[in-house]
Structure 1
Amino acid sequence: MAAFISCNCYSSLAAAKLVCPASPTNRIRFVNGPNSSSWWTRRLVPKCSSKKLERCQPQIEKKGRFFSLKECAISIALAVGLVTGMPALNWSPNAYAANPALPELSVLISGPPIKDPGTLLRNALPIDNKAIREVQKPLEDITDSLKIAGVKALDSVERNVRQASRAFKQGKTLIISGLAESKKDHGVELLDKLETGMDELQQIVEDRNRDAVAPKQKELLQYVGDVEEDMVDGFPFEVPEEYQNMPLLKGRAAVDMKVKVKDNPNLDECVFHIVLDGYNAPVTAGNFVDLVERRFYDGLEIQRADGFVVQTGDPEGPADGFIDPSTGKNRSVPLEIMVEGEKTPFYGATLEELGLYKAQTKLPFNAFGTMAMARDEFENNSASSQVFWLLKESELTPSNANILDGRYAVFGYVTENQDYLADLKVGDVIESIQVVSGLDNLINPSYKIAG
């Protein structure tokens, strides 16, 4: 029994350790002791030291209940998973409370986490082309192959390359047929580069040049991602009428955020490259790009850096968000969550509130540097200008299985220099954020471009 402490407290203790930092505000308390017959449900309760920063601080809320034998069996399996390295469960305590019929364990167990932001962004594109995905997957698997020590890794990499090359040759016709007509010439050009690049990677492997593998893999996956974007024909859905006049990002954009770092001898400044996904969060991403073009964030300080998130966007003065000078009112954006299998995002409600307890978000909180909107605890549509970047990832928690998914609107990922986010401190200054691509995808911009 030592491996799992006790079967009645896993759902809070283990899950909180996977996601929450070990700080006094996130400490778990057991009212009747750790071996009591009560269990705890997790709920995000935004709580910060400053009233204006009352945003996404996770805490624990109790809910008394007795465990059944089936629940204990599942808790034991969960604990064994923690010890043996099996993935954690896609656990939703509030879902259980609403529906006492507990799902079977085989349904709950998910695959290993996808932590790479590039992979998450490729998977989130609104396309359905199995042939290109079968090229993508083995190229992504090279990352795991390179975890093997020494040149032995190259044997595994070679299998990945051969699998990708075989899938490319067998599926090339289907890949080309999946390209949007207006982008077909560009897509075919990229496919030629991809094919040549895979031959070059094969030669790198044969030359036993391990150090050259990762840069070439990155190049090939960039081609794959660009081909997949060329498969998107226009914008895939209509934004609800009440949001159609807001700034909307109908596609993707990328920004470079330059931060001046204080009191750090190892880092003076850093540029973070961030990809914003308007295909899955057009209102949220459009609002951010519009504020970037207004230079809203330039000169703002990092306002929270606690090992769990880095946060900024609270302007000087009494307002919690952006005050639109044209209206004199606070601009707020709705909670916007896109779910796998849905054609349009859900607006204004968390997935728990919608009863979608097993739903998988298209943009999950599982990459270090996941970017999302902060908001008031009890008002889903209160986001405005405050944003945060998640500093946590887990080897045990599958994508869409942590306590943030479905509660906060993700709209992008830091894809370069994300590790340096952990070095940022309160008081570090955002010197500038600049849109470096995709600005033409912004619809209804409210800013005025001077000069």
Structure 2
Amino acid sequence: MRRAKIAPTLSNPLVSVTCKAFLLTSSMASPLSSSTIGSHQILFLHPSPLNRRSLFVKPKLPFNRTNYGDFRMRLLSTSSKIGNTKELIHSYDSSIDSKLKPFEAGTKNLEKLVATILIFVQVWSPMPLLGGLDSAYISPAEAVLYSPDTKVPRTGELALRKAIPANPSMKTIQASLEDISYLLRIPQRKPYGTMESNVKKALKVAIDDKDKILASIPADLKDKGSELYATMIDGKGGLQSLITSIKKQDPDKVSLGLAASLDTVAELELLQASGLSFLLPQQYLNFPKLAGRGTVEMTIEKGDGSTFSAEAGGDQRKSATIQIVIDGYSAPLTAGNFAKLVTSGAYDGAKLNTVNQAVITEDGSGKVESVSVPLEVMPSGQFEPLYRTPLSVQDGELPVLPLSVYGAVAMAHSENSEDYSSPYQFFFYLYDKRNSGLGGLSFDEGQFSVFGYTTAGRDILGQIKTGDVIKSAKLIEGQERLILPAQNNNSST
């Protein structure tokens, strides 16, 4: 959220009137709540969270994907109070104006005009006018949800890289490189000196900790690990090459080189993370689980005979393919159950429904044997998931696999309890920052078991309509990491 900023002084008449108008607005606009800082009342927007049960459990009717209009409509109730607010300001100021000299009265009239404009904009805009209140003034319950500086991954690729439980040295290298992604967004004069320092820091860690990095790789993967390590240092798209690109100050080449370096880092980390880094609770040992990463490929067909938009230079398509990377490192039970359903053919022929900000499968209960997996969320900074415990984002808890990413894949809630996921229904989340908290987080963040992201074919998701069909779903990578209970081993092939 762009937060209100208190001016350092109120001695300026215009500042005084502006703050006065702002405070009067905050006291009268019913959909807005307020916090008090000293003697100044500050405004915060608190939109209502989405109704998770009505959206993600057995939807029977299609809904509009966005409710941004509804969110704005909630602000309309303030319009009837604008007139009263102006009358209060006029009454207050007229008593002052009568005591002012003509010149001061003229200045005061200008200030009143500015204040009135500010009130109208404040009421009709979903964003506060004044920017940048020191974060120390915001309560912990509001700081995370409304702060744009949470650095929650905004792409599936970044979220998946951060989720790999790799060697600490590799994580240090990765963090230094990820920071360059933010620096590249700075317009005009980019801080190439800082970028170069970041890469040199990563290079030093890579060289100094070579033995630790390679020691974390299983013996049967040592040769491949050594090749990737050499590529990370001196190869095409390696750290040395990235430094050269930065020195040339070509942002396009830096961006390409950075992507190549991060891909190499991720490949090396995946070799280090050969399985789960934690033990599952005893009561969940008989659930299917995915000990690592897997890739699912789905072919989607239009149900009404229409076509998907043509790819660049291609023809109209009656069917389209998307790929999902599912993450057993952070959600082993949820990803494992989903992979089992895919390999069992549970989603072949499944119909899709478009609901608010999501594409969800129809209810397929009874089509194949399945179980309700407990809600499974890995908190950021923790080493194992929480079960049957949603995160409180307002208290600063953030998931390793955030929902606030376009194309995030998660299980719907069980029909009986939100502490469990549906045994069958999953959904693609069509994240839209316009329908999220003012810090860019979904109001349902931390409430669902996110287990992967759409990494190819994201453009298809927005074209899916109610009635479209999953023609086929296949586990094309990670079959060897899918571990099924003993009684289900025969169904894994």
TM-score of the superposed pair, with normalisation by structure 1: 0.70
2:176 is the counterpart of 1:135? no
* 1:120 counterpart residue number: 159
CA distance in 2, matches of 1:386, 1:360: 24
* Deviations 1:187-239, CA, capped at 9 Å, x for gaps: 33212112222333445556676555544433221111122223336422222
CA distance in 2, matches of 1:335, 1:400: 23
* 1:292 counterpart residue number: 342
* Deviations 1:275-318, CA, capped at 9 Å, x for gaps: 11111111100000011111211222222254x11111523xxx
CA distance in 2, matches of 1:49, 1:356: 22
Structure 2: which 5+ runs fail to align?
1-18, 35-44, 75-121, 311-316
* 8 Å Cα contact 1:361/1:400 also seen in 2: no
The one of 291, 295, 299 aligned to 1:250 = 291
* 2:266 counterpart residue number: 225
CA distance in 1, matches of 2:130, 2:388: 39
Q: What is the deviation of 1:9?
A: 6.9
Give runs of aligned pairs for residues 16-415 of structure 1, distance below 5 A: 42=49, 44-47=51-54, 83=129, 103=140, 109=147, 110-127=149-166, 129=168, 131-147=169-185, 156=191, 159-161=194-196, 163-174=198-209, 176-178=211-213, 179-182=215-218, 183-195=221-233, 196=235, 197-198=237-238, 199-204=240-245, 211-232=252-273, 234-261=275-302, 263-264=306-307, 266-267=309-310, 268=317, 269-306=319-356, 308-315=357-364, 319=365, 322-324=367-369, 331-351=371-391, 357-376=395-414, 379=417, 380-394=419-433, 401-415=441-455
* 8 Å Cα contact 1:135/1:168 also seen in 2: yes
CA distance in 2, matches of 1:205, 1:366: 31
* Deviations 1:246-292, CA, capped at 9 Å, x for gaps: 21101111222222345246242332221111111111000000111
Decide whether aligned partners of structure 1 residues 50 and 343 sit closer, same or farther in structure 2, where only a CA change above 3 A counts. Answer: closer
CA distance in 2, matches of 1:40, 1:342: 29
* 8 Å Cα contact 2:180/2:198 also seen in 1: no
* 1:6 counterpart residue number: 26
Q: What is the deviation of 1:386?
A: 0.7
**Percentage identity across aligned positions?**
27
Decide whether aligned partners of structure 1 residues 343 and 166 sit closer, same or farther in structure 2, where only a CA change above 3 A counts. Answer: closer
CA distance in 2, matches of 1:12, 1:46: 25
* 8 Å Cα contact 1:12/1:41 also seen in 2: no
SS at match of 1:351: coil
* Deviations 1:104-140, CA, capped at 9 Å, x for gaps: 87787453442022221122223461x4334323433
CA distance in 2, matches of 1:172, 1:238: 32
Decide whether aligned partners of structure 1 residues 296 and 54 sit closer, same or farther in structure 2, where only a CA change above 3 A counts. Answer: same
* 1:32 counterpart residue number: none
Q: What is the deviation of 1:176?
A: 4.1
Structure 1: which 5+ runs fail to align?
15-37, 63-75, 90-100, 325-329
The one of 436, 443, 448 aligned to 2:476 = 436
CA distance in 1, matches of 2:472, 2:209: 43
Q: Across the two proteins, how many residue pairs are aligned to each other?
A: 387
Highest Rg: 1 or 2? 2
- Would you tell me which structure has more helix in proportion to its own residues? 2
Calculate the aligned-residue CA RMSD, in Å: 4.5
CA distance in 1, matches of 2:128, 2:181: 23
* 8 Å Cα contact 2:163/2:330 also seen in 1: yes
Instruction: Between 104-113 and 168-177, report the one with greater CA deviation.
Output: 104-113
Q: What is the deviation of 1:392?
A: 1.2
* 8 Å Cα contact 1:337/1:361 also seen in 2: yes
CA distance in 1, matches of 2:46, 2:441: 19
